[in-house]
Amino acid sequence: MSEERKKVTLHTLYRLKAEDKRAVYITAYDYPFALLADRAGVDMILVGDSLAMTVHGYSTTLPITMNEMISHAKAVTRAAKSAFVFGDMPYMSYQPSDRDAIINAGRFIQEAGCDGVKLEGGRRVLSRVKAIVEAGIVVQGHLGLTPQNLGQLGGYRVQGKTKESYQALLDDAKSLEAAGASSLLLEAMPAVTAAKIREQLSIPVYGIGAGDQVDGQLVIIHDILGLFEQFTPKFVKRYCEAGILIKAALEQYAAEVRGGTFPGPQQCYEIAPEERQRILGVGTTAVPS
């Protein structure tokens, strides 16, 4: 996209829903990827705690800290001129108390320049959601497969596959909306479950692995570009194999260094002949050109 896009606001996101247009949502964790996503015209960027796995190499999202999230979020907001940026509240940044929730959500806004925050959970985090909203901060709820309580869920399992599980998700979703959440993200559930939940809410409902009958789609940028190898969920589509491309480039670089063809004349700085001569001195024979 070459033309300057307007800043996406909550109003923009509500208008997209009202006009039945799908919102485009993607994770980004650093300046270069956020710049590319913003220039590609995405509507929302999530600085997800998934960066614990995609960028830091942990096997779950749990070890990542609030300070680390802030550092990544700062890099993203420096790049994202148009997209609405959500900071993802990491494990233990809101679980202990409403006060912790407000302080840490506030850090995403005040220190990192995010537009809103996302946090996992339904009725069990309602007081946190209310507290953050009362502090004037935009909150996105997150239900379904919520990786911060992977232990309780019994691993990476699809949610909402029974009437009872659907009903529990719906009750959570309605409670989040009533508590002031401005939007909701549903992760890893059958399309019909997500569609029925969306139907009964008025806030935008986005999905990641939740089918096509929602108000927009989130993907993890490393998944769709072929940069994450640990595992590939069913809902991931690869749009390119950047990992293969980058590895081939690095192998070529290594071969050229070892073969003495990099750097070539084009990558070397020039110098005026007389200065060259002065540096080399009279009578020198071993002369790099």
Among 23, 34, 37, 50, binds ligand KIV (CB under 6 A): 50
Nearer residue to ligand KIV within complex by CB, 48 or 141: 48
> In terms of Cα–Cα distance, which of 168, 166, 227 is closest to 195?
166
Helix, strand or coil for residue 114? coil
> Considering the complex, what minimum distance in angstroms separates the CB of residue 70 from ligand KIV?
15
Of 108-167, binders to ligand KIV (CB under 6 A) are: none
Q: Which of 64, 131 has the CB closer to ligand KIV?
A: 64
Window 174 to 193, contacts with ligand KIV (CB under 6 A): 185, 187
- Among 208, 210, 214, 227, the residue binding ligand KIV under the rule CB under 6 A is 208
For 49, the 3-state DSSP assignment is coil
- Helix (H) / strand (E) element for 221: namely helix 221-224
Tokens of 133: 């909203």
| Three-state SS sequence of 269-287 | CCCCHHHHHHHHCCCCCCC
Q: Is-contact 42 1, C-beta < 8 A?
A: no
CB 243 to ligand KIV: min, Å? 18
Least distance between ligand KIV and beta carbon 115 (Å): 16
By C-beta, is 5 or 31 nearer to ligand KIV? 31
| Tokens linked to 237 | 């589509």
Active site residue 199: no
- Write the interaction track for ligand KIV spanning residues 9-48; mark x where CB under 6 A is met and - where it is not: ------------------x------------------x-x
Q: Which is nearer to ligand KIV, 27 or 77 (CB)?
A: 27
In contact, 143 and 169? CB cutoff 8 Å: yes
Residues paired with 139 in a beta bridge: 117
Nearer to ligand KIV, 5 or 65 (CB): 65
CB under 8 Å to 34, separation ≥6 — which residues?
A: 28, 45, 75, 76, 77, 78, 79, 80, 83
The CA angle 45-49-52, to the nearest 5 degrees, is 125
Residue spans of beta strands (DSSP E) within 37-153 = 44-47, 84-88, 116-120, 138-144
Here's the x/- map for ligand KIV, 59-98, by CB under 6 A: it reads as -----------------------------x----------
Query: Closest residue (Cβ) to ligand KIV?
Result: 48
The contact set with ligand KIV (CB under 6 A) reads 27, 46, 48-50, 88, 185, 187, 208, 218, 220
